[in-house]
Amino acid sequence: MKVHHLNCISTCPLGGHLMDGRTRGVFTRASLACHCLLVEAGNRLVLVDTGLGLRDVAHPRDRLSAFFLGLLAPDLRAEMTAARQLQALGYAPADVTDIVLTHLDFDHAGGLDDFPNATVHLRAIEEEAAARQRTWLDRQRFRPQQWGSRGRWLAYDDARTEAWMGLEAVSALRGLPPEILMVHLPGHTHGHAGVAIRGDHDWLLLAGDAYFDAREMHAEPRCTPGLRFYQWMMEKDRRARLHSRERLRELALREPQLTLFCSHDPIQFEALAGRRLGDPRVGAGTGPVEAAG
């Protein structure tokens, strides 16, 4: 399978290096990735998360909350949407057959409506919890305005899971090859998941928002103070989030051949994609990401 790394609209929170660890100063805005994947899997074209979408760029105040627009100031450029980056690679949005979601936060699911033929795979508990809109923060982060695709959602019952690499709750995905798996990593949201993809030699695992700083997977974990606070603010179940993060750290230390990465670390994105955070993916022959693994 061929895997492309896409940054589908950066978020730019205040805090500078206290957030991303590299922006100078603390009164400037940082730049975080929204790391999505495009997977060419035989006759299937699969997106893992969508980032923000074309309609979010065109009508941000109608689709996104004023709270997160102010807090995160997303870099709303149409050329950075998944739809436009796919077109630059020679695909049409209608060619996407499947979207696998880590979770339904607005910055991961905003582009769902850009892909009219895609089946959307997610955990059932994520769909149910997001739709309930129980708290003020739920109403800011989960945006039904982005869910025009809901009739094409395929939700997975947690009762039907298997083990993978020592992780006990993993779902095979209907219609997709067994080399693409949904890994249950609850805590950030109730139905949060990672997505594992088997490359030519080894596995990739996009862990979504199970952690935010690549250094959290080190034997002596570290995280910027801004991202520590943001993770605390956004968590739905602290005990589950910390357990998911610990399971991932153990996996990373036990399986060095596994390529493990999260959604928002900009340094990690640039290392895997081979280009700067603000540059869209262009041309089928550019960048060192021709094969997964």
Domain of residue 39, CATH code: 3.60.15.10
Q: Examine residue 112 and state whether it is found in any structural domain, yes or no.
A: yes
The predicted pLDDT at position 284 comes to 52
Q: Give domain status of residue 260, yes or no.
A: yes
Return the pLDDT at 169: 85
Q: Which residue intervals of 156-237 are DSSP H helices?
A: 225-234
Helix (H, G, I), strand (E, B) or coil at 277: coil
Is residue 233 included in any domain, yes or no?
yes
**Total structural domains within the chain:** 1
The Cα–Cα gap between 85 and 82 comes to: 5
pLDDT at 159 over 80: no
pLDDT of residue 201 exceeding 80, the answer is no
**Residue 59 in domain:** no
pLDDT confidence of residue 200: 74
The two tokens of residue 110 are: 């905003």
Whether the predicted pLDDT of 289 surpasses 90: no
The C-alpha atoms of residue 106 and residue 138 are separated, in whole angstroms, by 10
Q: Do 226 and 232 contact (CB within 8 A), yes or no?
A: no
b or e along 185-207 (b: 16 or more beta carbons within 10 Å of the residue's beta carbon)? bbbbbbbbbbbbbbbeeebbbbb
- Domain assignment of residue 225, yes or no: yes
Q: How crowded is residue 263: how many other Cβ atoms within 10 Å of its Cβ? A: 30
Rounded to an integer, what is the distance from CA 71 to the centroid of its chain?
Answer: 19
Share of the chain above pLDDT 70, in %: 97
- For residue 23, the tally of other CB atoms under 10 A from its CB is 18
Tell me the pLDDT tens digit for each residue of 67-122: 999 999 999 999 999 999 999 999 999 999 999 999 999 999 999 999 999 999 99
Answer yes or no: is 187 within a domain. yes
In a domain, 39, yes or no: yes
DSSP letter string, 191-207? T-EEEEEE-SSSEEEE-
Query: Once rounded to an integer, what is the mean pLDDT over residues 43-47?
Result: 96
Reported as a single tens digit per residue, the pLDDT across 186-195 is 999 999 999 9
**Residue 175 domain flag:** yes
CA distance 37 to 126: 20
Judge whether residue 285 has pLDDT over 50. no
Q: Which range of residues forms the domain containing residue 103?
A: 2-8+35-53+81-273
CA–CA gap between residue 161 and residue 125 (Å, rounded): 14
